[in-house]
Structure 1
């Protein structure tokens, strides 16, 4: 990701008079001199600090989203109130260059027309809320007549574009130590020594790196060694998990029309209370059992990934306007709702440019921007109010049909981990959940390891390292067999998260579903798929959906009927067996870096040889000599406002978005 330095301005101080010329009785003169000296010293220290230890940079693109933001729109959903960001990189330096050219006196009429069209087409006019999935307009001008009924045309706010995060980079650390895996590093782009990039370090010198099923695998250079998964430390996992759904942001407009809740009672026992505020519903899930834990069955509260599309929003808005269903019945509407697999959807990428409308495309999100990869590594985060220290709390995550369960005895606080199909796996640990009270609990299955946090503190399983690891090859009879599963008896990956209770008395609320980063297995020689309306190119982790696919046993899979059919149609899931393995050797003196925003990151996977303007001498690696330093913190996000009646105040420090880079 290209980065530009924060501009530095410095003026030379005026010459100070000689000491013998200053009267000792002139306090104002002495004060003035001391002020000038302080300024000079401050400039010298700042110069030395910048030169030898730290430097500030501005991030213009979004290849590290959501960890770090480039130029973007910062918006609040008009329906559910969730705050999210959408890329606006097209409204940045390229557009500024076109506008500067447009002001030149020698621009021909034909070139002027072309530039004006490009400038207009680069405007980001809409995005998509990651919680309620409504398409939200960011511009009120020059919109087509007859907007789709799915779009909220009554609450359009002209959203400005904000510059990228300003980060502080420590240029001193790598002089005394080697860069560490999973660090966020800044370096000179191998194809242009004047351009700074920022990525996450995933491959070290002397390794062979492989990207497969969204994860990173490493093979040391020793002859005869095999690939093994490279697990992120728990603190990195916690920092890098991305939101999928939050029960605090379920909009009333969908609920009033009859849209089902994503969390529901699977087998009886849970009582769900729903209250409405101005825009959302507030959910509390209660479980009270009079049975002893030994005799009581487990009652499950389970999540289904029920995503409203444009048609669903049309139905809901018409119902809200007219108080009845138009063109359908409630039963017909709800009957068509199908749970989906969780994808690598990133709201930062989900944008509609004005060029799409200018090219006669619809005001509709390109299908590939909704996520094209199935994410197996998931987590859940929630508040639990334990009324009595009795019974059990159970947490369940599903990956490729296998259940990964954490069972917590609420009398002793002992947590026990188990994996369906791996009887020899077991791990126990002590937790604070042995008394009545309120707790924040998080459970995750990421990189073939199970992790549990209580009140943001990692619970130590196994040898005291926190995470309990397992062998996925042994579990699935070969990692390549890990594809989604579902059946009449077990919804499997179509209901991938559960919160259970047995013989307990407790209340669950504020539930968040989380997912890990999914690294797409792609390389520069892969031919990208072209989007149907915008013409944007994107890479897939499996065989092209428009083509037949052949499995290792000779089975031929037909082309898909539509781009995202694999996320809701179990008959197409064997195509996940065609997921690619891409291997990259990392020589001595080299590193391998990738962006957190894998679908839209120009990183080591996609750097090229040859005469292409974006080509990198040597190909897919980063020379160690190009390392600048590690990213420390976001010291100045874009300005914000908090004055009543003034939503955004230029120059006002946005303190609550300042953060350490993880």
Structure 2
């Protein structure tokens, strides 16, 4: 993936909250009107080309692939661009506002307070976990936490406008993993968009975040995992961390960088803090190294208490003075940040509404019985990918990429002299390779700059070099035959001595006898599908394990708690002839086929957890009109100017 810096948007010109919000609201109405006119002209040409239909994404159930109503934000602490849902500011709130003239007295005041409580006032950056304020008129109880002079008003943008191809359905059936648009079974006037995951004639199982199927008429058959094709797997990865967006504010407060060398005699790490981020380079030059030297990623995630210290250090200049004022020792500060397992955090879900801010203060507080309980992630997500921009200075030695799942090291080792790549699996408990291997030709056989991506998703290993998939033959594996205890025993692991951190250091980059420099390292995760079914799981729809007294942060950081993941449930769904099964990419907040029988779903209840094939409209083709942003350089901003960069195919 090409490395790009994130553009910064201009600060809102209005100085007072009231003027800023009113001006923004009027501007938004004008902008959306102009956009609608332009879109109408675009569609007129599209309809002449092929049979198609435009569709506006209503919710965030497919995020981050496709966006519903949302805020589009550049993190002021690290520069990363992310989106946060603003669906609470959408049509449902508009209907409440429309009711206001018809109510009086206490009821009117209660309704006004409820409408105000739906404002999205904050969103969390996935890179540095900074809680970014979205507007200046914040609740009074959080004003001590936020410098209003630094706050930019973040408007709500409508969902992505996509083009749906209806013509192709006349010639063939949709394929698994396609994104499809259909009439909601409970209300023919409502269009839904989801990903097709279950086909007619099969039993679909959701287990450990993955999807499995068996023939519906073969109850004794073992379900087989469904693996995404390489292009779908790449498109559905979600960001976890990127060294291009390491916050300089955190670094100044002695917050550790997430990538570190495991020995002192191998890699040289150069870290240069700038005004916003820390520029990092990882170099090694060992002509005759006998062993592989490793960099390892640790998922050290700051919480709001850590950010309070970091902001205080930025204002006061001394970490020791800040810690002393707070009654903390340097040891307390060091011990407050243990590495964690990687969870299914999605910034789109990590919003702070006004009502929650008034109750909890300036932080997102997950709760197992509240609608936003999954906003910070609840599931251990072991299917990971690592991306590396590397400058190979001499064609010698080896470069290795390593991903850990349940203590097993899935490894791609590239010979930098002849380009050959070997895929292997090493058991961290014994340090010995398992009887599994695949190989191919990477094309990296000379000095130069390369972009590498290595993924372990859906029980398969995938390697890309400069965006092209490397053919390694059959790189799939079966945990039930390869690992002791099989799939059910795949729990997080670290060695008792800490010599192998296992799933607490789940990503590694190694080199042996090589001369090279890594200029960027990034970690990604796969989608985790939650095994939830209504009514069986009506009280716990955002996690697929039993409720526990462990907090989420404890569950993700304490090895003594990890046995609890053995309670992860599986859920089976029959898909009969003439039926399809669909799910959203944003599993914690997707009301899809799993949950269509639950109360609160708009419209009448469907006949069951399935989609009738006759309700299918077509396949989503592209996002042809994202929200406008910017204009022609050197000219005033045009509200309806297309955001060409975000136009994309739907995968």
Note whether the superposition's TM-score is higher than 0.5. Answer: yes
Alpha-carbon contact 1:305-1:495 (below 8 Å) kept: yes
List per-residue Cα deviations over 1:65-109 (Å, max 9, x = no partner).
00000000001101101000000011111111122222x4x4333
Summarize deviations over 1:344-371 as a string: whole Å, max 9, x none: 000000001112234x332211234110
- Distance in 2 of aligned mates of 1:271 and 1:388: 17
When residues 152 and 129 of structure 1 are mapped into structure 2, their CA distance, relative to the original with a 3 A threshold, is farther
Match of 2:512 in 1: 502
Alpha-carbon contact 2:340-2:553 (below 8 Å) kept: no
2:567 corresponds in structure 1 to 578
1:90 alignment counterpart: 88
Distance across 2 between alignment mates of 1:489 and 1:187: 52
> In structure 1, what is the equivalent of residue 112 of structure 2?
116
Residue 600 of structure 2 corresponds to residue 596 of structure 1? no
Pick one of 286, 305, 308 that aligns with 2:302. 308
Whether 1:387 aligns to 2:393 is yes
TM-score for the superposition, normalised by structure 2? 0.87
- Asked whether 1:449 is paired with 2:456, we answer no
- Could you list the runs of 5+ residues in structure 1 that have no partner in the other structure? 1-5, 11-38, 530-536, 546-558
Structure-2 separation of matches of 1:254 and 1:154 = 20
Larger mean CA deviation between 298-307 and 93-102 belongs to 93-102
**C-alpha distance in 2 between matches for 1:270 and 1:570:** 29
The equivalent residue for 1:430 is: 441
**Aligned-residue offset at 1:44:** 8.7
Which residue number corresponds to residue 410 of structure 2? 404
Distance 1:155 1:212, change over 3 A: same
Report the counterpart of residue 477 of structure 2 in structure 1.
470
Q: Secondary structure at the match of 2:111?
A: helix
Change in 2 beyond 3 A, CA 1:246/1:648: farther
Q: 1:266 to 1:576 in 2, by over 3 A?
A: same
With structure 1 as the length reference, what TM-score do the two structures score?
0.86
Q: Does 1:482 align with 2:476?
A: no
Q: Using a 3 Å threshold, how does the CA distance of structure 1 residues 108 and 330 change in structure 2: closer, same or farther?
A: same
Count, aligned residues: 593
> Aligned in 2, Cα 1:648/1:425: closer, same or farther, shift over 3 Å?
farther
CA contact (8 A) 1:640 1:647 kept: no
Q: How far 1:474 moved relative to its partner?
A: 1.8
Within 2, Cα distance between the matches of 1:611 and 1:263?
A: 44
1:318 to 312, 334, 341: 312
Conserved? CA contact 1:541–1:580, under 8 Å: yes
Pairing 1:104-503 to 2, within 5 Å after superposition: 104=101, 106-145=102-141, 147=143, 149=145, 151=146, 153-223=148-218, 224-268=220-264, 269-291=266-288, 296-325=290-319, 326=322, 327=326, 328-358=328-358, 360-367=359-366, 368-421=374-427, 423-462=434-473, 468-476=475-483, 477-487=485-495, 488-503=498-513
Gap runs ≥5 in structure 2? 1-33, 367-373, 428-432
Structure 1's 610 and 256: CA in aligned 2 closer, same or farther, altered over 3 A? Answer: closer
Q: Distance in 2 between matches of 1:456 and 1:53?
A: 32
Cα distance 1:197–1:287, how it changes in 2: closer, same or farther (>3 A)? same
Call closer, same or farther: CA 1:586–1:46 in 2, change over 3 Å.
Answer: same
Higher helix share: 2
Report the alpha carbon displacement of residue 277 of structure 1 after superposing the two structures with TM.
2.3
- SS of residue paired to 1:420: strand
Q: Report the Cα distance in structure 2 between the residues aligned to 1:419 and 1:169, rounded to whole angstroms.
A: 42
Pair member with larger Rg: 1
Work out whether residues 258 and 330 of structure 1, in 8 Å CA contact, stay in contact via their aligned partners in 2: no
What secondary structure, in the 3-state scheme, does the structure 1 residue paired with 2:595 have?
A: coil
- Please tell me the root mean square deviation across aligned C-alpha atoms, in Å: 2.4
State whether residues 607 and 615 of structure 1, in contact with CA within 8 Å, keep that contact through their aligned partners in structure 2. Answer: no
Given that 1:82 and 1:131 are in contact with CA atoms closer than 8 Å, whether structure 2 keeps it comes out as yes
- Alignment deviations for residues 495-538 of structure 1 (CA, whole Å, 9 cap, x no partner): 00000000100001211100000000001114455xxxxxxx85
- Contact 1:528 1:538 (C-alpha < 8 Å) held by counterparts: yes
Distance 1:165 1:660 in 2: 12
